[in-house]
């Protein structure tokens, strides 16, 4: 999968940025990636590559779509379970294109 430098989701142009694993936006090493709608940024651990990177990108993209639909953060645990399972299937499908 080709991962872009920028990604537009519902009018918000996210800039993708590689950061060190201990970056605050990665919760100081707990996360492999994150996205912040208010900053229009997606952050990725600079040590991930290949399918791990593709899956992380798809995961953050699904978060961005959910944010644009206003259906995020009803329950963080449910959100993460849905986003992770949905993005894994979506990534598997996108890889075939």
Residue ranges in contact with Zn ion by CB under 5 A:
83
Nearer to Zn ion, 36 or 94 (CB): 36
Nearer to Zn ion, 24 or 97 (CB): 24
Nearer to Zn ion, 77 or 96 (CB): 77
User: In this structure, are residues 79 and 69 in contact, taking their beta carbons and an 8 Å threshold?
Assistant: no
Closest residue by Cα to residue 43 from 72, 15, 81, 73: 15
Query: Smallest distance from the beta carbon of 66 to Zn ion, in angstroms?
Result: 10
Query: Smallest distance from the beta carbon of 87 to Zn ion, in angstroms?
Result: 8
Torsion of the alpha carbons at 77, 55, 57 and 96, rounded to the nearest 10: -130
């Amino acid at each position: 999968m080709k991962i872009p430098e920028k990604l537009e989701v519902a009018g918000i142009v996210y800039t993708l940025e590689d950061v060190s694993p201990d970056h605050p936006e990665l919760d100081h090493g707990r996360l492999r990636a994150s996205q912040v709608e208010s900053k229009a940024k997606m952050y990725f651990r600079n040590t991930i590559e290949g399918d791990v990177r593709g899956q992380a990108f798809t995961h953050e993209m699904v978060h961005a779509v959910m944010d644009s639909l206003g259906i995020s953060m009803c329950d963080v645990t449910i959100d993460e379970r849905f986003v992770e399972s949905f993005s894994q299937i979506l990534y598997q499908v996108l890889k075939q294109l």
